[in-house]
Chains A and B, each alone.
Chain A
Amino acid sequence: MNVEISGLTRRFGRATAVAGVDLQAGPGVLGLLGPNGAGKTSLLRMMATVISPTSGRLRLLGRDPGSYVPRREIRRRLGYLPQNLGYYPGFTVAEFVEYFALLKDVPAARVPAAVTAAVERVELGGKAKARLRTLSGGMLRRVGIAQAIVNEPELLLLDEPTAGLDPEQRVAFRGLLRDLGQRATVVVSTHLVEDVGAACTQVALIDRGKIVFHGTPTDLTARGDEHGIGDAPLERGYSAVLSAARS
Chain B
Amino acid sequence: MTAPSVPATTRRLPATRRSGLAAARLLRLELRHNAMLWILPVAVALFWLTTYRRTMAMPPLWNVRAASMQSGALVDFVTPVVGAAAWMGSRESRRHTTDLLTITARPQWARLLATWAATTCWAMAGYLGCLAVLYGVIAHQASWGGPLWWPAAVVVASLAALSAIGFAAGTLVPGRLTAPLAAVAAFFVLALGTELIVGSQSYWQISPLVTGPWDTGPDAGVGTFYPYLPDLSIAQLMFLLGLTIAVLAALALPRGSGGRRLRTAAAAVTAAGLLAAGTAVGLAGTGKLDGHGMIAIPTLHNAANDRPIRFIPVCRQTAIPVCLNPAYASYLPAVAPPSSRCSTR
Contact = CB atoms under 8 A, between A and B. Distances in A.
A107 B103 contact: no
Nearest to A98: B29
Contact of A109 (B9, B21, B95): B21
A154 B92 CA distance: 26
A76 B12 CA distance: 10
Interface in B87-132: 91-92, 95-107, 111
Most buried by A among B19, B33, B107, B258: B33
Given A68-B260, A117-B5, A182-B8, A48 B103 contact: yes
Contacts of B29: 91, 95, 98-99, 102
Nearest to B10: A183
B18 A169 contact: no
Interface in A160-187: 169, 172-173, 175-176, 178-180, 182-184
Contact of A121 (B2, B92, B98, B102): B2
Interface residues of A, number: 56
Interface in A108-123: 108-109, 111, 117, 120-123
A203 interface: no
Interface in B1-35: 1-3, 5-11, 13-14, 17-19, 21-22, 24-26, 29, 32-33
Given A48-B99, A90-B33, A103-B104, 15 more contacts: A45-B99, A68-B258, A69-B259, A86-B99, A91-B29, A100-B104, A105-B106, A106-B13, A108-B18, A108-B21, A109-B21, A121-B1, A123-B2, A152-B6, A176-B1
A173 B98 CA distance: 25
A173 B6 CA distance: 15
B106 A176 contact: no
A77 B10 CA distance: 11
A75 B108 CA distance: 13
A45 B98 CA distance: 12
A152 B104 CA distance: 13
A147 interface: yes
Nearest to A151: B13
B1 A50 contact: no
A80 to B, nearest CB: 5
A50 B18 CA distance: 26
A234 interface: no
A202 interface: no
A72 B101 CA distance: 13
A122 B259 CA distance: 34
Contacts of A117: 5
Contact of A108 (B22, B33, B101): B22
Given A72-B259, A95-B29, A175-B1, A107 B13 contact: yes
A120 B13 contact: no
Contacts of B10: 154, 183-184
B288 to A, nearest CB: 51
A172 B1 CA distance: 5
A130 to B, nearest CB: 15
A122 B1 CA distance: 4
Contacts of A91: 29, 33
B29 to A, nearest CB: 6
Contacts of B13: 76-77, 105-107, 151
Contacts of B104: 75, 100, 103-105
Interface string A74-104: 0111101010111110110001001110111
B333 to A, nearest CB: 57
Given A75-B104, A86-B95, A183-B8, A175 B3 contact: yes
Nearest to A145: B1
Contacts of B9: 183
